[in-house]
Amino acid sequence: MFRRALILTLLLATLNRAHAQWDLEDSTTTADLRGIHSVGGDIAWASGTNGTVLRTEDGGYIWQHCSAPPGAEHLDFRGIQAFDANTAIVMSSGKGDLSRIYKTTDGCHTWKLLFTNPYSPDGFFDALLFLDSQHGILLGDPSPLNMNTPTEYPNDIRLRVTADGGVTWGPISAPDAMRPGTGLHALGDEAAFAASNSSIDSNNGRFWLATSTARVSSRRLYLHPEQLQFLFQSSFCAGALDPVSKECGQPWTDFQDAHAPINHSAPSAGIFSIHFRSEQNGVVVGGNYSKPEDPSATAAYSADSGGTWLPAQTPPHGYRSSVAYDPATKTWITVGPNGTDISTDDGRTWRAVHPNPALHQPPDADRNWNALSLPFVVGPHGRIAKLNTQSLAAR
């Protein structure tokens, strides 16, 4: 009787345990990868340290090494946005002029430098997001007063926008009297994290940005998609042109602010990733990257477009740098150095997933990840994997 009960207990434990969903792929690089963008139709692009850009056209079976943009051999490409097999824009992150944007339109055979951080020697690019092939948003850390950028205010969070596919990047200004810690007005050493190119997000005409102080700031960009053509038009500025873009600063003053219950007790802590599966339902993840095993306050969720945030009842089991939603299986996935967690109740509860020996997954298939763009995940030392949706659906 005891033996039968033990066998039943072990069987139930096996059935209730979630298995890892990552099938490892060969990137043939040792670069640390933080940028990943899945275009769909088996096309995806990845990026990382030492000017590394990778591309696949067959769902990850072969990852092609792209030629590095001229002068970018030592840059850290933290973000990449792709549009098809030939066209992509890559963002490097670094102090001063180490933050740059390049574009290719011929399958990464050649690159063009589009934009260099105008806030040098300060400033730092954190995230790049395109709403379509023409309209994009660039997020950067606050920087002091700089006479090269007269349309912006000192120590504000930096936003630049493009309406021509990245050729021109005009400034967003916040000419209001709101207190620090609201909208684009940073509080003290408040900044954003560039860990996974996911500290900003947009869905159905709404925009969100998340910061190191666990603040989420949002605003309505447009009510109808056809309004995109007017979204980033410059306003009248009495001749105070931005010398970089030759445009006026576009004023965004109608931000709504909320604080998420995410650990921000140290400079290495805060919100690292934000994603909304709809205009209403979103998740933020983070924690303290210097204490990756600490599971306290690592995730929160919102059901009202980011107006309020509630802590996950069962959080991920450590610091998490990226979060994404898989609509096919209605599953949230979040990754970090010490593992992968999933949620099927819109971020209220999370459970760890583990490698499945039956699928010949190595024992570390669930960990050492930086960034997500489903079905792909990337990490340090050239790690790339693809989501095993059959395993996920069968959990």
| 3-class secondary-structure state, position 257 | strand
Q: What is the pLDDT of residue 15?
A: 37
pLDDT at 16 over 50: no
pLDDT tens digits, one per residue of 123-148: 999 999 999 999 999 999 998 866 66
Q: Residue 358's pLDDT is what?
A: 78
pLDDT digit string, tens, across residues 321-371? 999 999 999 999 999 999 999 999 999 999 999 987 877 778 899 999 999
Q: What per-residue confidence (pLDDT) applies to 370?
A: 98
Measured CA to CA in angstroms, residue 165 lies from 83, 102, 171 at distances of 10, 11, 15
% the chain with pLDDT above 90: 73
Query: 359-388 burial string, b = 16+ CB within 10 Å, else e?
Result: eebeeebbbbbbbbbbbbbbbbebbbbbbb
Helix (H) or strand (E) holding 217: strand 215-220
- What pLDDT is attached to residue 34? 97
Distance, in Å, from the CA atom of 147 to the CA atom of 135, rounded to the nearest integer, reads: 27
Helix (H) or strand (E) holding 218: strand 215-220
- What's the CA gap between 134 and 162, in Å, rounded? 7
For 70, the token pair is 């001229």
Strands 33-40 and 43-48: antiparallel
pLDDT at 233: 66
Which percentage of the chain shows pLDDT scores above 70? 89
Helix, strand or coil, per DSSP, at residue 387: strand
For residue 18, give the nearest of 343, 359, 354 by alpha carbon. Answer: 354
Handedness of CA 352, 358, 363, 365 (dihedral sign): negative
Each residue's pLDDT tens digit, 279-299: 999 999 999 999 999 999 999
Question: Cα separation of 66 and 105, whole Å?
Answer: 12
Domain boundaries, the chain: 2-393
Q: In what order do the strands lie in the sheet with 322-326?
A: 322-326, 331-336, 339-343, 351-353
Average pLDDT score over the chain: 89
| Neighbouring-strand partners of residue 369 | none
Averaged pLDDT, 56-63: 96
3-state secondary structure of 391: helix
Helix (H/G/I), strand (E/B), else coil: 323? strand
Residues whose CB falls within 8 Å of the CB of residue 99, separated by 6 or more in sequence, listed in order: 91, 92, 93, 116, 117, 123, 124, 125, 140
- Write down the CATH superfamily of domain 2-393: YVTN repeat-like/Quinoprotein amine dehydrogenase (2.130.10.10)
- For the residues 83-89, what does the mean pLDDT come to? 98
183-224 pLDDT per residue, tens: 999 998 999 999 999 999 999 999 999 999 999 999 998 877
Q: How far apart are CA 71 and CA 36, in angstroms?
A: 22
Q: How far apart are the first and last CA of the chain?
A: 29
Tell me how far apart the alpha carbons of residues 50 and 73 are, in angstroms, rounded to a whole number. 5
How far is 44 from 36, CA to CA, in rounded Å?
7
Cβ burial, residue 11 (10 Å; 0-12/13-18/19+): exposed
Alpha-carbon distances, residue 393 vs 336, 352, 387, 388 (angstroms):
22, 15, 11, 9
Could you tell me where the DSSP H helices lie in the chain? 2-16, 228-231, 389-393
> How far apart are alpha carbons 391 and 340 in whole angstroms?
14
Taking only the tens place, the pLDDT of each residue in 259-268 is 999 999 999 9
User: What pLDDT, on a 0 to 100 scale, did the predictor assign at position 13?
Assistant: 37
Residue 1 has pLDDT above 60, yes or no: no
Q: Strand 250-251 vs strand 170-173: parallel, antiparallel, or unpaired?
A: parallel
Chain centre to alpha carbon of residue 393: 25
Task: Name the strands in the sheet holding 53-56, side by side, starting at the edge strand that comes first in the sequence.
Answer: 33-40, 43-48, 53-56, 64-65
Residue 180 has pLDDT above 50, yes or no: yes
Note the pLDDT tens digit of each residue in 22-37: 999 999 999 999 999 9
At residue 393, the pLDDT reads 55
Structure confidence at residue 356 (pLDDT)? 78
The total of other beta-carbon atoms located within 10 Å of residue 127's CB is: 26
Confidence of residue 178 (pLDDT cuts 50, 70, 90): confident
Question: What's the rounded mean pLDDT across residues 87-113?
Answer: 97
